Amino acid sequence: MAQENVVDYMIPSNVNCSLYFKSKPLPQWNRDDYISYRKENGSFSLPDGKLIEDYNNDLAKLLASEDIPDGSKRVIKSIQPKATRKGKQKSATNSYNTYSQCALSKSGNASITFGETASKVSSDSQEAFTSPCSSSSTVGVGSSMSESEPADSPVTTNYSSQSNHRPIDKLFEDEPLPDTVPKDFRDAVFKAGYHYVNMEPDEKNTLKLSLCHIICFVGATAPIYDHFFSTQDPAIRLLYEAAKADVPKLPTGLTDKARSLMDELFTTASEDENAFHLKLAEKKLEALKGPCDSQEMQILSIIEYVVLCLVRSNQRHKSELSCYRITAFIIELVLGRSPLKIIDGENTSQAMKNAQLENQRSCLDDDDKKRLIGRKIDMIVSGHGVELSSSEWKREQTVLVTIEQQRVKNIRTNCAMLSNIMHLPIDDNSDNITTYGMDWLGMVGCMYAITAFKDIYIAHDAGGLVMSDDIGTLSYLEDTLELLFSFKHHLEDLCKRIKPATGRLKCSNQLAKLYSTSAPNVKRVKAPVVFFSPTKRQKNPNQQ
């Protein structure tokens, strides 16, 4: 009977195990090499401990398989890690290679010891058992392993240090390596992320934005981008300055009549509070003679509500919810009878779920049947079933680090919504689309514009928002309402553009169901992908 060639033995394709064991000869198996192989082939998000567990489980499956010859099983048993027996030490005469788990003799021949059987390999073949990644544990120097040593004796091996493979290398398969010169502006924005790995909180926020191809000119990340792009080539710097100057313009918010009405009321408020209430009632009576949904009527209703809230301002708890109730209701009054819909109560965003699903596909992680949960958003404004804007609230005492983290999350959320809108079949130029988001800190907030520029996203400051806390600061409300009504008019115009597109998309999807004989293939979107950190993988109880 011919002796089994264990040196070149390959696992048959019908055996249920990882592809790693089918791609390498048996003597080259190694735990560290297995971990590197899995990370390079889509499992980089798993911790090393989980990959080691999978490695041991696969070895156990191979030992239980009837398709593996007995000689190869003895090799696998020698590879399997075993607990060190008390009082028993390994003979201090051996050197091991972690790829082959073989004893290398001092004479130049490799002696592969399988239990009580030893096979000799010529010195010409010794290279097959070495690797640049291999490491050895040398307790002593001397002869090869004794043939009489039991197969289950403990093996002491120094494995190489943890792989320095960075998961972000796999996020976007079409991106060049970070150590190359940026080929264009989008590539330069992406590479900014590699520059800020494992640094300060503001720089980590820059990393999150850069992974999404976002430049934010709002908050603490703006000077970091300025510094990074100041070191780039002149062509890249010119594009950066062009993006910085490309600030979207909002439509006019308040009419001249509404502005003069507010000026008159606020002048009266600064002189006498009672006279202000009389003037407010008088103006509201005049407005009731006209259309109920006029802007003047909306302005008077908002001012009346703000004044009522001022009565309880000193007794109001300064929590996130108490501030949200006031500002959210004012936004409701601003939107009035428009087709825009407010979705609040910390709902999840469908655009974020789509982005997370795209992240999973990019990382080859979409085969796991775990429940996908989107981030919770305080307020989403939608129109015709399409998410148009997201806004977040924090209480007044929130620390700066949390404020910036919230901003970065909200900007990425709005970018995900913008990406969804841009992929609708809109007749006119879909690249010329801007959406707006808001971040609130107590009774003050800021609005920023999100737009596409040269295959990346740009976030620009659109203005500040102040809700008055006393009668003397009511004049701040005029600029705030100007911005909120501009926000409303912009989203109404956006709704008009996307309404026919949503109808065409619905008809197209329904027709595809009639003509298709199978489920349509999901194609990867080639627009800038918005990255959100993955959800925690749920362990399958049936998985061994």
Place of tokens 């972690």: 98
**What tokens does 489 get?**
């008019």
What is the biggest distance separating any 2 CA atoms in the chain, rounded to whole angstroms? 112
**What tokens does 98 get?**
């972690």
User: d(Cα 18, Cα 304) in Å, to the nearest integer?
Assistant: 69
**CB-neighbour burial class of residue 143 (10 A; exposed 0-12, middle 13-18, buried 19+):** middle
Place of tokens 């982005």: 355
Amino acid at 303: I
Place of tokens 């609708």: 424
The answer to whether the CB of 391 falls within 8 A of the CB of 379 is yes
User: d(Cα 450, Cα 413) in Å, to the nearest integer?
Assistant: 10
pLDDT of residue 486: 96
CA 80 to mean position of chain CA atoms: 37
| pLDDT tens for the 544 residues of the chain, in order | 444 555 567 787 777 788 888 887 877 788 888 888 887 776 555 677 778 888 888 888 888 888 888 878 877 887 776 533 333 444 333 333 332 333 333 333 333 333 333 333 333 333 332 233 333 333 333 333 333 344 343 333 333 333 344 444 444 444 444 555 667 777 777 666 655 554 566 767 777 777 778 888 988 888 888 888 888 888 999 999 999 998 999 999 999 999 999 988 888 877 777 888 888 889 888 888 888 778 999 999 999 899 888 877 777 778 888 889 999 999 999 998 899 999 988 788 888 877 777 777 766 665 555 666 667 889 999 998 899 999 999 998 888 888 988 998 899 999 989 988 888 888 766 667 899 999 999 999 999 999 998 888 999 999 999 988 777 778 889 999 999 999 999 999 999 988 888 888 888 888 887 886 554 444 434 444 676 655 555 444 554 4
CA 67 to mean position of chain CA atoms: 43
pLDDT of residue 462: 94
- For the beta carbon of residue 58, count every other beta carbon within 10 angstroms: 21
Q: What residue ranges define each of the domains in the chain, with the CATH number in brackets?
A: 1-165 (no CATH), 167-245 (no CATH), 312-515 (3.90.1570)
pLDDT of residue 465: 94
User: d(Cα 51, Cα 28) in Å, to the nearest integer?
Assistant: 18
The answer to whether the CB of 132 falls within 8 A of the CB of 116 is no
User: d(Cα 404, Cα 201) in Å, to the nearest integer?
Assistant: 9
Place of tokens 């689309």: 433
What's the Cα-to-Cα distance from 462 to each of 30, 149, 446, 487, rounded to whole Å? 56, 76, 7, 10
